[in-house]
Structure 1
Amino acid sequence: MDWDYAHPFTLPVTPGAADIDGLDHTNNAVYVRWCEQAGWAHSQRLGLTLDDYRRLDRAMAIRRGEYDYLLPTSAGEALTLGTWLVGGDGKLAMERRFQLRRDSDGATVLRGRWDLVCIEISSGRPRRMPAEFLDTYMPALAQNAGG
């Protein structure tokens, strides 16, 4: 598959009957839920879990989410969701990208991006990323397209 960036973290997903809306395709909210699942799974694979976030009293919160719904999908279609961290200022902000592809023909059905900001969980206020975030996330930034 052609990915927008090299070496995606991937998550296989398949819409079920409950994911289909009145227009007979996967509801857009389902894609948002899958992106959240992929983001957490990627963070865990890199070595930071929700327990780490709580221990550090820090989290990467979504400041802005954008989704481009390019093609519909149907119940039972095998899909692969790729995600990458593609930018970070080393202080407060990072960017995560998503690309959802249909396995049968490789077509991209969705692209998404999140602008993330580091917050102090207890107050909800923006705070600098702790060293553990920098040591885990910054080396994982995608470097080039087409992997």
Structure 2
Amino acid sequence: MTRFTQIITASPADIDELGHVNNAVWVRWIQEIAVAHWVALAPAEHQAAYVWVVTRHEIDYRGNVRVGETVTGETWIAAPPKGARFDRHVRFTGADGKVKVEAVTTWAMLDRATGRLARVREEIAAPFL
């Protein structure tokens, strides 16, 4: 499996009234790291032909991040796709080494031209497994 990492620093716009990263921002970061992983590894012809949509998020919030703090986001796909869908794992770890957020998200692949679900063929999944 090919893991992908990205460093993210919390900006003032990411912070809620409790003084830490808002839960909706974590969801945005989950999507951003997933898309960055796709762009980094998928051939241009696959990126042009397909688009991914989230069908489910399961998120565990384990710690807080405040403005200016940095997390390392890591994502990977642990198992082959099932039809048009696969589960993506995401983990954000703080500079202190503690996991702040963990998630398993289910994504479905759509054919850009038709907008319909498309089976994830072996050659599409291979760079990620």
Normalization by structure 1: what TM-score? Answer: 0.76
Pairs within 5 Å for 1:23-38: 23-38=18-33
Aligned counterpart in structure 1 of residue 39 of structure 2, from 27, 39, 44: 44
Does residue 101 of structure 2 align to residue 110 of structure 1?
yes
Aligned counterpart in structure 2 of residue 22 of structure 1, from 11, 17, 40: 17
2: CA distance between counterparts of 1:128 and 1:137? 10
Pairs within 5 Å for 1:1-147: 8-48=3-43, 52-53=46-47, 55-56=48-49, 58-89=50-81, 91-103=83-95, 105-129=96-120, 131=121, 134-141=122-129
Counterpart amino acid of residue 20 in structure 1: I
Per-residue CA deviations over 1:90-140 (Å, capped at 9, x if unaligned) read 63221111000001x2000000111112223344332223x5xx3242342
Counterpart amino acid of residue 15 in structure 2: I
Shift of residue 26, structure 1, vs aligned partner: 0.7
Aligned length: 129
Per-residue CA deviations over 1:13-55 (Å, capped at 9, x if unaligned) read 1111111111111111111111111111111111345x744x3
1:120/1:139 CA distance change after superposition, 3 Å: closer
Q: Do the aligned residues in 2 keep the contact of 1:46 with 1:136 (CA within 8 Å)?
A: no
Q: Do the aligned residues in 1 keep the contact of 2:41 with 2:127 (CA within 8 Å)?
A: no
**Unpaired segments ≥5 residues, structure 1:** 1-5, 142-147
Shift of residue 66, structure 1, vs aligned partner: 1.5
2: CA distance between counterparts of 1:77 and 1:34? 14
2: CA distance between counterparts of 1:90 and 1:46? 20
CA RMSD, aligned part only? 2.1
1: CA distance between counterparts of 2:11 and 2:109? 34
Normalization by structure 2: what TM-score? Answer: 0.85
